[in-house]
Each structure stands twice: as C-alpha cells, then as structure tokens.
Amino acid sequence: MGSADAVLKPLTVESDTGELPGGHPYVRAGSGSRSLVILPGFGDAMFPGTYPPLSGLALAPYVARYLDEYAVYLLSRPRGLPAGYDADDAVATHARALESIGDASDAVDVIGISMGGLIGQALAREEPDLVDRLVLANSACRLDDDARPTVRQFERDAREHDWASIRSKLAAAMFTDGRAVVYPFVFQTAGRVFQPRPAEPADVWRSLEFILGFDGCDELGSIDRPTLVFGGERDPFFTPALARKTAAELPNGELELVPGAKHGAFHERKWRFDSRVRSFFER
C-alpha cells in the first residue's frame, strides 16, 4: 500500500457510534471481515460516556494498520458501575457486547489495555468462545505490590473529584519523552478547566478498586486462548517481572517487552506495538 493510500484510507473509512448490549458505549472504525475489540484502561471512566457521531474519524488514523482486515471497536465500560464492581460483573456485560458484534458465532480478537487487559483475561477464561486471540497491552495478571500506594492515591483523588491530579500523575507514569513533563503541567493548569469530566464520578474509584482487587495469577492456566503480553521494561504498574510471569504461565503465552518504555509503551512505541500485534494476529 502506498503512503497516499495509508493517509486517505482512514478519512474514508466507515464508522459509527452507539451503545451495545450491557450498556457499553462504543465507537467503530472500519468494516473488515474480522472484528477487533479494544478494551481501554481505567481512564475510560473519566469521560462523559458517549461518543460524538464523528468519533470514528478520529479513531481511524490511530487504528489504520488494522483497517484492511478489521472492523475495530473501542468498547467503553458501562456508566454507573455497581458498588463492588468485579471480574464477574465485567464478564457479564462484556460478554453480551461481544456477542452482539458481527456474527455472534465468531470469536473476536481483543486488545486489553491496562485495566482492559484484566477484563480481557477474565473474558478469555470465562467465555473462551467469544475471544479468538488476546493482547494484554501494559497489563498482567495483577497490579504490582509497589504500585498499590499510587493507585490508592488515585482513588483518594477520585473521591475528591481531582481529575487533573489523576491525569497528571498517570501521564508521568506512562511517558518517557517530553510528554512526561508537559502533560502533567497542562493537566494541572488548562486541563482543570477544559478536560472532560466523568459522567459518573463513582465509576472512577470503582474502576480503581477493581484494579486493586483483581488477581488472576493463579488462574492463568485456565486461559487457553493465544495471548500476547506487551509491556515496557519500566512500567511501574505491571512490571516486567509480572509480565514475564503472566506470559510464562499462560498455556499459549508470548512476551514482548520494550526497553526503556513505561506504562504507555503501547502508545508511545505504537509502530512497534502495531507491528507485533499484527504479526501475532496473522499467525
């Protein structure tokens, strides 16, 4: 494909937005014969909960390397998560959403980012017929113990509705370039006025409680779906040791660790991430 085609294709791609069964807001880009579902991290809870009609045009360039074959869905979690939201709750609603995507008899490929990777594991374990291949992007079987105080601080910030502090601390943990300095400054200044607010503030701390409570390490052997664990060697939340453990204990696990990268390896090193994921999906 020529460079001009690569630029033009996302601008003409089919897209839509809406809500899937289980109360999941979504945006879709592409109309390929296969379905790829992206499950976002906990920051998904910090936006209003609906996608504007043209959101697919914004998503298309970001997922352009998949659009030749896939319809790509960014699948948000429902707004108004119940108290005590856990893996069983997540599986129950996500399974309904995945069943509604395309032909219900076909499994979908799934990329789970951070918290989305925890949910992806639970889905692949409990509803294996719905998941074909799974990518855990900056995720592992549980949160690292040393990261728990940071996540508890996020939870305290959330209860005080201090979204700017959460975003700024998360940016510092994600990036290794100038964004690690610029983004926190922007979030703490202009971001306090212009950044979107959560539709349901409780969804933010309930998402963080989910992360703190999730531990799938003893159940990795029950996930028979081919799974790629992709992470950064400086990720403070899902550390290299946990990534290695996760990949090693999965029956069909593979590992890719990016030297120097942190919790945003899937985004900051996106060319490498997309190349590795496409290769994994095509085998």
* The pLDDT of residue 102: 61
- Say how many C-beta atoms besides its own lie within 10 A of residue 153's C-beta: 14
pLDDT confidence bin for 63, thresholds 50/70/90: very high
Whether 272 has a pLDDT exceeding 90, the answer reads yes
The 3-state DSSP class for residue 207 equals helix
What is the predicted pLDDT for the residue at 182? 85
Tokens of 212: 């703190």
Q: Look up the pTM and report it.
A: 0.93
pLDDT value of residue 251: 97
Q: What is the pLDDT of residue 44?
A: 96
Percent of the chain whose predicted confidence (pLDDT) is above 70: 94
Residues 6+ apart with CB under 8 A from 231: 136, 137, 138, 139, 140, 238, 240, 243, 256, 257, 258, 261, 265
Distance CA 62, CA 57 (A): 10
Kindly give the residue spans of alpha helices, DSSP state H, lying in 37-196: 55-62, 87-100, 115-126, 148-159, 163-174, 179-188, 191-194
Identify the weakest region by mean pLDDT among 2-6, 166-170, 187-191, 234-238. Answer: 2-6
pLDDT at position 19 is 96
CA atoms within 13 A on the CB side of 126: 17
Q: By mean pLDDT, which of 145-154, 184-193, 212-221, 229-238 is the weakest?
A: 184-193
Q: Which residues pair with 257 in a beta bridge?
A: 231
DSSP three-state, residue 74: strand
What are the tens digits of pLDDT across the range 87-132?
999 999 999 999 999 665 578 999 999 999 999 999 999 999 999 9
53 CB contacts (<8 Å, ≥6 apart)?
Answer: 17
- pLDDT for residue 6 is more than 50: no
Edge-to-edge strand order for the sheet containing 70-75?
Answer: 15-20, 24-29, 70-75, 34-39, 108-113, 131-137, 227-232, 253-258
Average pLDDT for residues 172-181, to the nearest whole number? 92
Report all structural domains of the chain as residue ranges with CATH numbers, in order of start: 3-145+215-282 (3.40.50.1820)
Percent of the chain beyond pLDDT 90?
A: 84
Binned at pLDDT 50, 70 and 90, residue 176 comes out as very high
Q: Answer whether residue 4 shows pLDDT above 50.
A: no
Q: CA-CA distance, 16 to 29, in Å (whole number)?
A: 7
The residue length of the chain stands at 283
